[in-house]
Structure 1
Amino acid sequence: MKNRLLFLLFVITLFCATANANPGDTTFVQTFSFEMGRSNNKVDTFDFPDGSKEYAKVLMYYTIKCDPQGTYSRDDDKDFPCGEWDYDVYTDILKPTGVVDADGKPEFDVWRLWSYITPYGINLDKDIKELNKDGWRYVYDVTDFLPLLKNKVILRDGNGQELVDIKFVFIEGTPVRKVLDIRPIWSSRGVVFKDYWEGYPLNRFDSIVHDTTFNIDEATKGVKLRTTVTGHFFGKGNNCGEFCDNKHTLKVNGKAIKEWQIIQKCGDMPMYPQGGTWVFARAGWCPGKEGKTNEFELTEYVQNGSLSVDYDVESDPYGVYRITSYLVTYSDISNKDDVEADMIITPTDDLNQRRMNPSAFAPIVVIKNNGSNILKNATIVYGFEGQEPLKFEWSGNLAFLQKDTVVLKQIPDWNRVEGQKAKFFFEVKAPNGNTDPTPYNNRLNSTCSKPAVYNKGEMLFRFVTNKRPKETYWKLTDISGNVVYSADADTLRASKAYYYNMKLNSGTYCLSLYDTNDDGLSFFANNAGNGNAQLSYFDNDKKKNVVAYRFNPVFGSFVHHWFAINNFSNNIVLDQTDVSEGVLRVFPNPSSGSIMLNLVSVEGDDLKAIISDIVGKTVLEVTLESESVNTINVSTLHNGAYTVLVKDGKTKIATGKFIVSKK
């Protein structure tokens, strides 16, 4: 085994150099790299930091790339550039036990950092060109494993489908709360079902994963359970465990505190199109994504220094679940008022946000409350580098570690961006009006591509349905969200071409296609035939229509195309209030358990919230209190986009949109 040296990169310097670590300084540890080739059992020892410094966060950059040595010829032993199948792979920490087996080989305790399901790789290198260049990078927070990531660390990676590069990023500073210990609970690693499939059989899951009690010492101020559960094996009965709905229940001290469905929508995956059945919803995973990790805060349930936890699932005679779980203990929360810039959704060239980009609509960012106090307000400064910064005053009601997806109402001016790329930034500060004690996590930057500009006043949209026209519809919206042109699925007939002449004023637009069955206009496994869609304009010089944009018909759930006619809309400021002119803001957004509606300024004797899914079906109806902040439990809803309508009797008050995203 080789020892690889870590290297230090100072990316932010906020204070004068001293003998101590500077908050924000970042140490990168390079482990496995693309140059090592494809192998499903990579094992090596690497030098990590010695643990003498304090780190605010530790991230794992997991990057995959197609192998240029791969081939589509079946005449040799080489695989496709990106592997053909959706394999469940992993990255592990191996800790020597000091014991050797009968063959004299050392035995290890295995700590699974994450599981990852590889994408269906046929033609992936042709459809997503970035996989042939720098690759597709996933960012995974591994701060909970910090006690294990120091000095010499033995790592194992099982992805032999693609080339893999793994870096660990240690960001110096005060942690949100210090990790005291991480303890494994239930793990199906090494348990073989039917001689070849690792995991616990569903018909015996509850007898294997049983109630476990932990002693919690006085120094512990925070407790969290993290579980990664994925369903596999199918073909009989309900197609468990890969494809079936299955209710999962977390019990603490003998009482159920959380119930949810494990099935996860895959038709909205950012890595698309893939070569197999990638659009099908699956149990806790999707091809080309990590296994879904759920995190549960359990601090309030500690009783007399003790805590018992149990994980139950609905039984099924078929199917297998793979499970990795840990109990993590922490010191007290470090700061009272502390806000973090968590993510840029738009505008960005981040491949994980490619379904939402390149966008010229309002920027969308995510902020996170890292303080013990409820976060009620903060200031967001944002814009394109080189332009006058814009400001947004955020208000809400975020508890510790809750997030809010924020639509920044004033839109930066794309007309002043030279070339096809821009540098966007957003910075969040002044949590609850106070100075943020961790300024090094307040700012994020992104490189973003400029959407297309068509110097025409009239566009032609050609839309060809497949054999199931009732599943697919489209709409064109302007920068204020107004629907300019549209076609509902009920108005369309099977396998027919429709032409729409769209006369448009100068400004910014988004043309969107949606499919309620999550299989787009074309998908090889649904027997629905093939549809297509394209946007074009008439070229007076060439005397013919010129195609401006072709939609990939294998788009799954939805696809967007942002563009401008002549010039981008500018000097646009959208509404910023919670309830104004029928618009309601929902927070936190996305939500994993509950949403809040601020109706402090709303009066009514018969207020109700009606929540509908993407096809308009009512899934939840709740009575509301007027002139107050209302909390609605949405933990029973599947992941996806929803609309909430607030009514007073028969009178419509406001509507809002939110996303349910349960890890």
Structure 2
Amino acid sequence: MVRYLLTIICTAFSISFVLKLNAQDTITVQTFTWDSVSRNAWFAFPDIPTSEIERINLIYNMRCHDAAVGVGSVGCREWDYSCNTFITDTTRFDSVLANQKKYIIPNYTESDFYYSNSATFNCAQYVQKNASYSSLSNAINATIGIKNSNISFKDKDGRYFYLFKAVDLLNGGLKPGKMPALKWNASKPGSLSFLKINLKNTNDDVLDPTKADLNSATEVYFKNTDFIAGVNTLIFHKEFNWDGVSNIQLELSFNLNKSNSTPEIDAFNAQNLAIGSTEDTWSLAQTGMFGLNLPPQKMSSVADEISISFWANGDRNTLPVNTSFLEGVDKQNNRQINIHLPWSNSSIYWDCGYTGGSYDRIEKASSSSEFSGQWTHWTFTKNARTGIMNIYKNGSLWHTGTGKTKPISVDRMNLLSNIDNQLSYYGRVSHLSIWNKEIDSSTIQDWILDPGNTNHPYYNSLLYYYPMNQNSNQTITDVAPNPATIQNSDFINWYKETGRNRISGYSSISELPVTTFVQGTPIGYKVEDINAVEEIPMMKIPVTEFEIEKGAPKIVNRYIVYPGGDLLVKDESGMIVDFKTTNYDGIFTQKDIRYQRFSPAKFELLSLVTPYGNNLDLGIEGKTFVFDVSDYAPILRNSKRLSIENGGENQEELDIKFQFIKGKPAREVKEIQNIYAFQLAWFPDIISSKVMEQRNLVLDNRANSYKIRSTITGHEQNGEFTSRSHFFNVIGSKSSQKFDFTVWKECADNPIYPQGGTWIFDRAGWCPGAASDVHEFQIGHLGDPGTTIKIDYGLNGANLDAAKYLISSQLVSYGPSAYALDAGIESIVRPNSERVEFERFNPSCSKPMVQIKNFGTTDISSIDFSYFTNSGTIYTYSYSGNIKPSEIKNIELPIQNLEIWSKSTDSIYTVKIDKVNQKEDDNPRNNLALSKFKFVRIFDFDPVFELRTNNVARDNSFRIKDMNGQVLIEKNNLPAVTTTQENLMLPDGCYTLEVNDASDDGLSFWFYPNLGNGSVAFKKKINTALATIQSFKADFGKGFQFDFVIRKTTDASDLEIPLLLSVSPNPAHDYIDLKISSNKLNQASIELLNATGNLVFHKKVSKQNSDFNETISLENLRPGLYLLKIKSGTQEYIKKLVVE
């Protein structure tokens, strides 16, 4: 039969510091609750003078969403995030050392920017191909078309597509196979600059200007070409292989011909076999400027489905960098739509739909040719009902994701930048359209150049269509139903598209060139590279000039200019190959303007990191922390904004209360002020004082003592997992002192365990699921009230590149101590069942433990305690020691038996300070504390303790103590993969099991699968078998403590000889160590029997001190099962032994 015995918890609402806690003594302010949607709101705090507040407790409860076990998006969320609690006081101000550039010039980092007020041109170098052969064997010349017209390339540039039918090719004599050239007859000579010919096999029977294939053809010819009057042979630098059954699509493009002498080519008339773009066409160019505000009214119809489609040509000289092509947010400013095209890692991200603190996302790595240097058509779709998100490239599925069911709600949206204009796009864009419907691949391909056509099958679902081909200064026209034209107060950069870059302005034409396709085997075939320079227009650049006015940057001028001076000439790969000197009208010389940026004062009340949520169960009532935030009394008054920030605010449900305990404080908090505004700072910036520079502060003249309190947590790979020494250097009117401290926290003893991730790894100042460390330094001796002190924060040691720190720091000013002699109870550590900080010590039936703080000015040398439950017995204890002013010490309070717990009927434990230093305490209000308690496990039999180690030798140890702390059995350095069993034949009483792991990784940890798995359990002997009746999770980190009670049906006085029997190792190889602990046993007989019952070892032993200790050799024994018998008088104890 298994029973349970009480052990105590100190609930946040049960904490008491007075003999009688009346309703008027404590005010509780409820803020966020489990069902709160927001983590940022205003709350009314009591307007009580700091002289009348004895203490303020922050009662912080968190539980998994809906009290469910964490897995993915159910229950506690998977990852550990910073989760910082702030109070913002808008009547005070913080300042941060800030740097403002005199000029903001997109994508320019040099010191001097040469500019021109008129248009400038640069050059780009391309590699053209010059192919030749000396002769052609087995030549075939298949001429398609009979001349009845001319194609006159009068335009300065153009792009054409021609379709040659397979039947005509076969009739002309062409055969399946490779062709190295084609021939055109020119009736008039001329030149075509950057002439490019692309060929492809196609099943298309007609060419439609709404869906021309602009990307999939193979380049066969690229060269500045002079045409003579007569036949011109264009030799391919890559032979084209005709499959013999498909039609051939021929794409021809050329650029501006400065000589204005263009050839005329023989042509023939045909319908639906040719399209071209020759009129001026434009695209919208983004050079890192502010984005465009999309008129949002039509986005209200987007909920479950969306498609966003466009052409993009990224700037290959800039990308990849962190970009945002567009971003939409909801009314709470949560991201609902976002496209990174790309991110700096060259991956493309598609985010869509937000709920529950996160958004749906798919991503895929890409190559530079996909996002820069050429036009690519992209379509991003989502269907929240099916859970599918897709990315299409040039009409074909490129990436997909499933299980993406978060709904979409867009209130504001920016094009070509993120919502706050901090991330921009770099490149050109055209034909942008948005639907409230998921568009499929075939529809994308069919309308890739004309998505706004009224015949489009999803036209009724088209919300926006911006062709972006209008070259108007301040408007971008929407040609979708109910148009929402974008009005831009700034200029719009329109870029004229020419030649091979044309993607707009296509129409049907009726003329095809009379073309002779050449087949045969080239003799002496060779291809040479030719560097050719192409002139390109420079885009207009916005230059914004700033000055600092009233502590804030202010725009004083905005210039729209062209780059001038020496311009870099680059090749196709982005390598610099030359420079070009252009005229310029002036120079913008960059400089840094350093200033203090002011904002409403934000005070960090608590730094906590959320636990790893997978498989985590925080229970129906969650886990509760209690924090003393009395230092913040000056600002926890009247209406204040409370916020939870930095990413973890929605990982769990939160319930946060403030408990104001009225009374005279031991030291009144006169003032609290931020030394530095809370901020995230990189290691090199701290070292160089770019941030966290030396500060001058005035010591409050109403106070007489002062301290620095600071919480610092390290992040990024180096910052999180590297211990570093930090410091505050203080220079006052009396003296100076450097306070060095290490930001490093042990995590393997975390009270919330086990967790789903790497929770056991030590970190810089924080652990998953725990409050961060607070560092405090007394500085009152360094300066007089009313004088100025200098405080400088910094780091010691070598630079860490990938390290940044969240830094909170305050100067707290106190009035004089109210009491000379004042001992107060801070907390009941054990027993305690409601405060998660003490969960590793509970449940407990052993000595209670209390935290005592010296609130007075006199050293404490003795304290008289009384403590009790309603069991009837009052225990007393006199502590002797030394507790300095402001020091906190843990004190154990002895108990004689279990009656204090077992006979309690209300589960309340009370502890009281009666005297301090043999006299009455000056302040009795903090001399009483109460707590609830729970039952520990009761065994009504002699349990067997069993520990099986994993693959690590000498890593584990355990010991069992009685309620007075006496060690009854202890085993250290246990061997690997070994089971140790202890028969606990003990008298009734309370016992404590302590299991430890030297490597801080328990008996099992997912990160180290090669270490294997161990186990810990209590077992009960049932006939000849052992049944597990209490097991423990093997992922326990540093160790664990378990209190239990043995209360057998037979009174302890009836037990003939209570003893502890220990045999190790078991299984054994060469020997066993036998230990028998008993207060009554003086002599014993040891027998070892094999599986057939034959005696193989016998020895009589006598007590040595309080124990029997015997080493038995097993060298001559065969492997197998043996029985070990201990006989004394009429009693006999049997234990199984395995010899390997």
Aligned counterparts of 1:373 and 1:73: Cα–Cα separation in 2: 53
CA contact (8 A) 2:70 2:613 kept: no
Deviation at 1:452, TM superposition (A): 2.0
Amino acid at match of 2:856: G
Deviation at 1:223, TM superposition (A): 0.5
Call closer, same or farther: CA 1:180–1:419 in 2, change over 3 Å: closer
Count residues in correspondence. 525
Amino acid at match of 1:82: C
Q: After superposition, what is the alpha-carbon deviation per residue over 1:56-99, rounded to whole angstroms, capped at 9, x for unaligned?
A: 0111111111111868776xxxx231111110012212233699
Correspondence list, 1:253-652, <5 A: 253=731, 255-303=736-784, 305-314=787-796, 315-350=799-834, 351-411=836-896, 413-414=898-899, 417-418=902-903, 422-457=907-942, 459-489=943-973, 491-493=974-976, 495-527=977-1009, 528-540=1011-1023, 544-566=1025-1047
The one of 700, 719, 732 equivalent to 1:241 is: 719
Q: In the alignment, does 2:77 pair up with 1:83?
A: yes
CA contact (8 A) 2:18 2:928 kept: no
Deviation at 1:505, TM superposition (A): 3.3
Q: In the alignment, does 2:684 pair up with 1:203?
A: yes
Aligned counterparts of 1:9 and 1:407: Cα–Cα separation in 2: 20
Q: After superposition, what is the alpha-carbon deviation per residue over 1:367-426, rounded to whole angstroms, capped at 9, x for unaligned?
A: 111011112222111122332211111222222211111111234534762489732111
CA contact (8 A) 1:24 1:173 kept: no
Correspondence list, 1:42-57, <5 A: 42-52=39-49, 54-57=52-55
Q: After superposition, what is the alpha-carbon deviation per residue over 1:34-66, rounded to whole angstroms, capped at 9, x for unaligned?
A: 1214x5xx2222221122571101111111111
CA contact (8 A) 1:379 1:429 kept: yes
Deviating 4+ runs (over 6 angstroms):
8-15, 21-24, 69-74, 97-102
| TM-score, normalisation: structure 1 | 0.73
SS of the equivalent of 1:203 reads: helix
Aligned counterparts of 1:415 and 1:374: Cα–Cα separation in 2: 32
Q: After superposition, what is the alpha-carbon deviation per residue over 1:462-511, rounded to whole angstroms, capped at 9, x for unaligned?
A: 2211111321112222234333333221x412x33333334333333222
Amino acid at match of 1:410: I
User: Which stretches in structure 2 are left out of the alignment for 5+ residues?
Assistant: 1-12, 93-549, 554-597, 1052-1140
User: What's the counterpart of residue 35 of structure 1?
Assistant: 35
Aligned counterparts of 2:821 and 2:15: Cα–Cα separation in 1: 26
Give the number of the structure with larger relative contact order, counting CA–CA contacts within 8 Å between residues 6 or more apart: 2
SS of the equivalent of 2:958 reads: strand
Call closer, same or farther: CA 1:420–1:461 in 2, change over 3 Å: farther
Aligned counterparts of 2:935 and 2:881: Cα–Cα separation in 1: 31
CA contact (8 A) 1:263 1:284 kept: yes
User: What's the counterpart of residue 655 of structure 1?
Assistant: none
CA contact (8 A) 2:682 2:804 kept: yes
Call closer, same or farther: CA 1:56–1:424 in 2, change over 3 Å: same
Rg comparison, structure with higher value: 2
User: What's the counterpart of residue 161 of structure 1?
Assistant: 651
SS of the equivalent of 2:839 reads: helix
Q: In the alignment, does 2:174 pair up with 1:180?
A: no
Aligned counterparts of 2:899 and 2:871: Cα–Cα separation in 1: 12
Q: After superposition, what is the alpha-carbon deviation per residue over 1:516-561, rounded to whole angstroms, capped at 9, x for unaligned?
A: 1111001101231111111112135xx6423231121111111122
Q: In the alignment, does 2:734 pair up with 1:250?
A: no
SS of the equivalent of 1:440 reads: helix
Aligned counterparts of 2:879 and 2:850: Cα–Cα separation in 1: 12
User: Which stretches in structure 1 are left out of the alignment for 5+ residues?
Assistant: 1-7, 16-20, 126-130, 190-198, 235-239, 571-663
CA contact (8 A) 1:361 1:411 kept: no
Call closer, same or farther: CA 1:153–1:221 in 2, change over 3 Å: same
Aligned counterparts of 2:907 and 2:986: Cα–Cα separation in 1: 26
User: What's the counterpart of residue 704 of structure 2?
Assistant: 221
Aligned counterparts of 1:316 and 1:10: Cα–Cα separation in 2: 44
User: What's the counterpart of residue 323 of structure 2?
Assistant: none
CA contact (8 A) 1:174 1:438 kept: no
The one of 56, 63, 68 equivalent to 1:65 is: 63
Call closer, same or farther: CA 1:25–1:166 in 2, change over 3 Å: same
Aligned counterparts of 1:9 and 1:560: Cα–Cα separation in 2: 25
CA contact (8 A) 2:14 2:931 kept: no
Q: After superposition, what is the alpha-carbon deviation per residue over 1:187-222, rounded to whole angstroms, capped at 9, x for unaligned?
A: 343xxxxxxxxx211122232223323222543211
Q: After superposition, what is the alpha-carbon deviation per residue over 1:212-259, rounded to whole angstroms, capped at 9, x for unaligned?
A: 23222543211011101000100xxxxx21111211233222854433
CA contact (8 A) 2:898 2:990 kept: no
Aligned counterparts of 2:929 and 2:1001: Cα–Cα separation in 1: 34
CA contact (8 A) 1:421 1:450 kept: no
Aligned counterparts of 1:148 and 1:417: Cα–Cα separation in 2: 45
User: What's the counterpart of residue 151 of structure 1?
Assistant: 638
SS of the equivalent of 2:871 reads: coil
SS of the equivalent of 2:684 reads: helix
CA contact (8 A) 2:16 2:930 kept: no
Deviation at 1:287, TM superposition (A): 0.7
Aligned counterparts of 2:67 and 2:1045: Cα–Cα separation in 1: 41
CA contact (8 A) 2:78 2:614 kept: yes
SS of the equivalent of 1:430 reads: strand
User: What's the counterpart of residue 602 of structure 1?
Assistant: none
Call closer, same or farther: CA 1:13–1:478 in 2, change over 3 Å: closer
CA contact (8 A) 2:947 2:980 kept: yes
Amino acid at match of 1:154: R
Amino acid at match of 2:1007: A
User: What's the counterpart of residue 93 of structure 1?
Assistant: 87
Aligned counterparts of 2:930 and 2:641: Cα–Cα separation in 1: 33
User: What's the counterpart of residue 641 of structure 1?
Assistant: none
Call closer, same or farther: CA 1:520–1:134 in 2, change over 3 Å: same
Call closer, same or farther: CA 1:442–1:396 in 2, change over 3 Å: same
Amino acid at match of 2:816: D
SS of the equivalent of 2:65 reads: coil
Amino acid at match of 1:258: F
Call closer, same or farther: CA 1:323–1:266 in 2, change over 3 Å: same
Q: After superposition, what is the alpha-carbon deviation per residue over 1:616-638, rounded to whole angstroms, capped at 9, x for unaligned?
A: xxxxxxxxxxxxxxxxxxxxxxx
Q: Percent identity?
A: 28
User: What's the counterpart of residue 603 of structure 1?
Assistant: none
Call closer, same or farther: CA 1:416–1:355 in 2, change over 3 Å: closer
Aligned counterparts of 1:306 and 1:365: Cα–Cα separation in 2: 40
CA contact (8 A) 2:827 2:852 kept: yes
User: What's the counterpart of residue 615 of structure 2?
Assistant: 123
CA contact (8 A) 1:24 1:441 kept: no
Call closer, same or farther: CA 1:122–1:417 in 2, change over 3 Å: same
Aligned counterparts of 1:551 and 1:14: Cα–Cα separation in 2: 40
Q: Which has the higher strand share?
A: 2
SS of the equivalent of 1:35 reads: coil
SS of the equivalent of 1:242 reads: helix
